[in-house]
């Protein structure tokens, strides 16, 4: 098998990275993919920086050994913790991480009020703080830490009463303020977008970094002359550290938008 036909690895702490995988498959349907979710160790967002660095780097090494021609770190938390290390270790391999889509959210209208939703670790990380500082004159950017929100998606629970209650409480303090935009700064959150809209209203613009990340991977592969020339549809191989049939079924259902 030539290198161009080798798979693109897509990594997340669980099933959330499927929101990035679906963008990759949409714009590069002829590529082969290995989707690896580390659900056994999830959530990453409440772990220490060192733990997330270790888990991400160990898995990346295995994925490259399996022949991955590039890596998408489809996890904002793992990107903020480890993408720099990975790029230093593998300078010749295209490695793309996902970051909260702060820039488009801060600039889509005149001084919007925007909630930036992310895991506790991403919210604490200096990288996000610096990114938000850059736009502080253009928008009111409010960081909102969401411990526990990813667990609903890990359970395949996208519409329950409990989820609605969680989100209602999360947004309670903003009920009297007009919210113009929401940044989904964790790859699990696009799967609960409908419920977020139900509470904040349909006027709210939602931003997620999945599409930009997919486009950046395509650009990097083209630059390295690694795009797959095949004309037929590629394959998606799912792996998960939990090794359960249910998790793999959930991954497929999320990719095919069946929940």
Which positions are annotated as active-site residues? Answer: 75, 186
How many Å apart are CA 158 and CA 162, to the nearest integer?
Answer: 10
Measured from the CB atom, is 7 or 45 closer to ligand DGL? 45
How many Å apart are CA 47 and CA 49, to the nearest integer?
Answer: 7
At its nearest, how many Å lie between ligand DGL and the CB of residue 234?
Answer: 23
The shares of helix, strand and coil residues in the chain, as percent rounded to the nearest 5, are 45, 15, 35
At its nearest, how many Å lie between ligand DGL and the CB of residue 81?
Answer: 10
Angle, helix 210-223 to helix 18-27, in steps of 10 degrees:
50
The SS3 of residue 70 is: strand
At its nearest, how many Å lie between ligand DGL and the CB of residue 12?
Answer: 5
Tokens standing for 74? 């489809």
β-bridge mates for residue 237, sequence order: 34
At its nearest, how many Å lie between ligand DGL and the CB of residue 178?
Answer: 27
Binding site for ligand DGL (CB under 6 A): 12-14, 16, 42-45, 75-77, 119, 122, 150, 186-188
β-bridge mates for residue 95, sequence order: 71
**Torsion-angle region of residue 149: left (phi > 0), alpha (psi -120 to 50) or beta?**
alpha
DSSP assignment of 17-68, as one string? THHHHHHHHHH-TTS-EEEEE-GGG---TTS-HHHHHHHHHHHHHHHHHTT-
At its nearest, how many Å lie between ligand DGL and the CB of residue 103?
Answer: 17
Residue nearest to ligand DGL (CB): 45
């Amino acid at each position: 098998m030539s290198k161009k036909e080798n798979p693109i690895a897509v990594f997340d702490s669980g099933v959330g990275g499927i929101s990035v995988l679906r963008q990759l498959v949409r714009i590069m349907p002829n590529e082969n993919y290995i989707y690896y979710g580390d659900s056994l160790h999830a959530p990453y967002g409440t772990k220490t920086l060192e733990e997330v660095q270790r888990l991400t780097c160990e898995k990346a090494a295995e994925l490259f050994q399996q022949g991955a021609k590039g890596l998408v770190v489809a996890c904002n938390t793992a990107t903020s913790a480890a993408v720099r290390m990975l790029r230093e270790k593998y300078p010749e391999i295209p490695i793309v991480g996902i970051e909260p889509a702060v820039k488009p959210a801060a600039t889509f209208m005149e001084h919007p009020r925007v909630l930036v939703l992310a895991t506790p670790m991403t919210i604490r990380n200096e990288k996000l703080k610096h990114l938000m500082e850059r736009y502080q004159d253009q928008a009111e950017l409010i960081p909102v830490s969401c411990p526990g929100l990813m667990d609903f998606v890990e359970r395949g629970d996208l519409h329950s009463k409990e989820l609605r209650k969680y989100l209602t409480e999360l947004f309670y303090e903003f009920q009297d303020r007009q919210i113009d935009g929401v940044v989904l700064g964790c790859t699990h959150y696009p799967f609960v977008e409908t419920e977020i809209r139900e509470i904040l209203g349909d006027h709210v613009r939602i931003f997620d970094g999945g599409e930009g990340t997919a486009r950046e991977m395509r650009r990097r592969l083209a630059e390295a002359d690694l795009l797959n020339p095949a004309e037929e549809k590629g394959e998606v191989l799912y792996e998960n550290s939990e090794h359960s049939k249910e998790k793999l079924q959930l991954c497929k259902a999320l990719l095919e938008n069946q929940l």
